[in-house]
Chains A and B, each alone.
Chain A
Amino acid sequence: DQQVKQNSPSLSVQEGRISILNCDYTNSMFDYFLWYKKYPAEGPTFLISISSIKDKNEDGRFTVFLNKSAKHLSLHIVPSQPGDSAVYFCAASRGTNKLIFGTGTLLAVQP
């Protein structure tokens, strides 16, 4: 049972435009959500997180939106840069419990 889902396996965006990566979850008990970026043959790198008490968190070019009623979160990257090309994983947890990861979305930013 995949509790965290990323339905788009890949996304291609033009440099300078906005990238929107989506993530859905099924467990309403999740209260902490994170986005990680991963390059091939490397470990994931933490990007940004959001607590369930918020609906938006912004850090530079990265903004995460959380819609609890829809059990949906999204990561916006603007403006997108070629260096942003990587696999993006969303993850969720309840309390300080283990993280459950989505299946990832491969973002390709075209110059």
Chain B
Amino acid sequence: GAVVSQHPSWVICKSGTSVKIECRSLDFQATTMFWYRQFPKQSLMLMATSNEGSKATYEQGVEKDKFLINHASLTLSTLTVTSAHPEDSSFYICSAKFRDTDNSPLHFGNGTRLTVT
């Protein structure tokens, strides 16, 4: 149980275009999902917390107008990288807790490798 599916697994786009990444909890409902970003050989950095039915909470330094997050249902959150630039190239990973109310571990999707040319 507690499977998180992320799509696409990799995407190449041209500079200036927008890319949407989907994150689904397959066998459980997640009122909260988390979006992380990982640069090569670096840690996973939390970008934002996605809350079902309300606005996402962004970490300091993350542009909310550039990284649009929508959590439209209890099983789906989307991250849209708008007007992508080469510096946005990175590995984006979503995650969710099986149970929101306690110290249960986060379950991660398999990530999306974004390359902006």
Contact = CB atoms under 8 A, between A and B. Distances in A.
A41 B113 contact: yes
Interface of A: 2, 4, 9, 31-32, 34, 36, 41-46, 49, 51, 89, 93, 95-96, 98-104
The winner among A32, A34, A49, A99 for most chain B CB atoms within 10 A is: A99
Given A49-B103, A89-B43, A99-B46, A42 B111 contact: yes
Contact of B49 (A49, A98, A101): A98
Given A32-B103, A34-B105, A98-B34, A43 B46 contact: no
B99 to A, nearest CB: 9
Nearest to B45: A101
Contact of A46 (B9, B44, B45, B106): B106
B71 to A, nearest CB: 15
The winner among B9, B102, B110, B113 for most chain A CB atoms within 10 A is: B110
Interface of B: 4, 6, 9-10, 34, 36, 41-46, 49, 91, 93, 95, 97, 100-103, 105-111, 113
Given A43-B4, A45-B108, A101 B103 contact: no
A49 B107 CA distance: 13
B17 to A, nearest CB: 22
Contacts of B102: 96
A101 B111 contact: no
B110 A99 contact: no
A43 B10 CA distance: 13
Given A4-B43, A101-B45, A103-B43, 16 more contacts: A9-B41, A34-B106, A41-B9, A41-B111, A43-B108, A43-B110, A44-B93, A46-B105, A46-B107, A49-B103, A96-B97, A96-B100, A96-B102, A98-B49, A101-B43, A103-B42
